Structure 1
Amino acid sequence: MGRIKPQALLQQSKKKKGPARISVMTIIMSSLIVVLTLFFLYATYRHWSQRSRFQIENKQSVLEGDNSFMDPKKSDLPGYAILETAKGSITVELFKDSSPEVVDQFLDLCQRGHFDGMLFRHVIKHYVIQAGDSDKLGATEDWTLKGKHYSQLDTSLKHEAFMLGTSKAKHDKRGFELFITTAPIPDLNEKLIVFGKVAKGEDVVQEIEEVDTDEHFRPKSNIGIHRVTLKQSI
């Protein structure tokens, strides 16, 4: 056999190598990897988007659930009353939920100006101050008798001081009286319908409590409520 020249061998090797072909299996595997990657990314995106939407809807449902227990009529009512007196302002928080009927009556009377110019008729130290139109002892006689007793004793802590209430005795709107306790009173619930509490102005209540009174606990000098202003909040 004749020898093959080096140049011929080089040309033959080039023809044998040629361009490398990609197998079908490689193409399938690559495509599968791409599809799985895209599916994973889509699934992750969908999971987090649904989770965020669920959290938002859950928060809204909780808020709506809380609001469902709220009476819109009550929420619109003023929550505070400011009594402008000769000694200063007394801000009272109204118990709209626990005493709705009395609060409604009180608000109606405030809007009618019922309390404007009303005098404090009885002031019992370490017990209560009472404002009303009637100058007769009447229903307050029992209060004054008990006042003599409690003014000399340390009262029980069953009830707080600075509570706003009106007498449980039957009366029409014209006879609506205001009582502000100046000390804890053990039998508070027996005498008063409590519908509020002093939020600001305890010092004013105490100053009214210190005025000079006669033997029937009536102030010797006139002191009263100039006007009542209603507020949603303070």
Structure 2
Amino acid sequence: MRSKTFLYSLFFVMAMVVGCKDNPKKPETPSNTSTKEKDSTIIVEEEKPKEEEFKLTEDNAIDFFFDYQKNLKENKVRITTKFGSFVIQLYDNVPYHKANFIYLTKKGYFDQTQFHRVVKDFIIQGGNSDDERTAKKRREIGRYLLPPDTRKGYKHHRGTVSMPSSEIDNPHMLASPYEFFIVVTDPGSYHLDGDFTPFGKVIEGMDVVDEINRQPVGKGDWPSQNIYITKAEIVD
């Protein structure tokens, strides 16, 4: 009887040993091991480097506007102010200056710039501002000048739109592309011929131009009250 009991006990111990081998201990690891392993298999797509935004420079401006004007059909721009609006027609045979004005209009550059210089019975000059947003727009578009184009036979009659030269050391009278002036003098200011580039004329709303020219000014011909271009837009 004892031998049978001994055999039963022996079989029970052996069964326990085998059971322990079949059920090994789970490894002691943090509960988020599987998550980490899964996370490590996620493929992270690398961000593609952003393409540099195009900016105009003195090196690329002429080539750019040469190509830009090839298929350019627009030639009218409406300028709106608190005094009303007027329409400028651009000359087709002054291609770089025309293309520049259309390009800046489409970029929204002139919006919220000012007629910052008003000389009585002479000119109104626009396209500048002492606001930081205007300086920011210029930085984004680029820094460049345009060559004069004074041999197309256009004179500075009343209503002529022309481009001032840059204020920097500028013996070749290169034009400041962000600004423009409109002749108010009747019949014109012909002493400007040959030095500045006429590239368009006012065909509607000259009374608005005259009203701007009548506004009081302070030091440096800057209007006493800011005169904003609220909108510049292409006219079909």
Are 1:89 and 2:93 an aligned pair?
no
- Structure 2 CA distance for aligned equivalents of residues 185 and 171 of structure 1: 18
- 1:47-69 deviations in Å (ceiling 9; x for gaps): xxxxxxxxxxxxxxxxxxxxxxx
- Structure 2 CA distance for aligned equivalents of residues 231 and 124 of structure 1: 28
1:132 equivalent among 127, 134, 149: 127
RMSD: 2.0
TM-superposed CA distance for 1:85, in Å, is: 1.2
Residue 103 of structure 2 corresponds to 108
Residue 209 of structure 1 corresponds to 213
Q: Please give the secondary structure, in 1, of the residue aligned with 2:98.
A: helix
User: Which one-letter code corresponds to 1:186 in the other structure?
Assistant: Y
Q: Please give the secondary structure, in 2, of the residue aligned with 1:216.
A: helix
Distance 1:216 1:168, change over 3 A: closer
- 1:122-172 deviations in Å (ceiling 9; x for gaps): 10011000113255xxxxxxxxxxxxxxxxxxxxxx741111111133366
1:164 equivalent among 161, 165, 168: 161
Q: How many residues align?
A: 135
- Structure 2 CA distance for aligned equivalents of residues 178 and 202 of structure 1: 16
User: Which one-letter code corresponds to 2:92 in the other structure?
Assistant: K
Distance 1:130 1:159, change over 3 A: closer
User: Which one-letter code corresponds to 1:79 in the other structure?
Assistant: N
State how 1:28-67 maps to structure 2 within 5 Å.
none
User: Which one-letter code corresponds to 1:84 in the other structure?
Assistant: T
Distance 1:126 1:95, change over 3 A: same
More helix by share: 1
Spell out structure 1 runs of 4+ moving beyond 6 A. Answer: none
Q: Please give the secondary structure, in 1, of the residue aligned with 2:216.
A: coil
TM-superposed CA distance for 1:107, in Å, is: 0.7
- Structure 2 CA distance for aligned equivalents of residues 211 and 199 of structure 1: 22
Distance 1:171 1:160, change over 3 A: closer
Given that residues 82 and 228 in structure 1 are in contact (C-alpha distance below 8 angstroms), is that contact kept between their aligned partners in structure 2?
yes
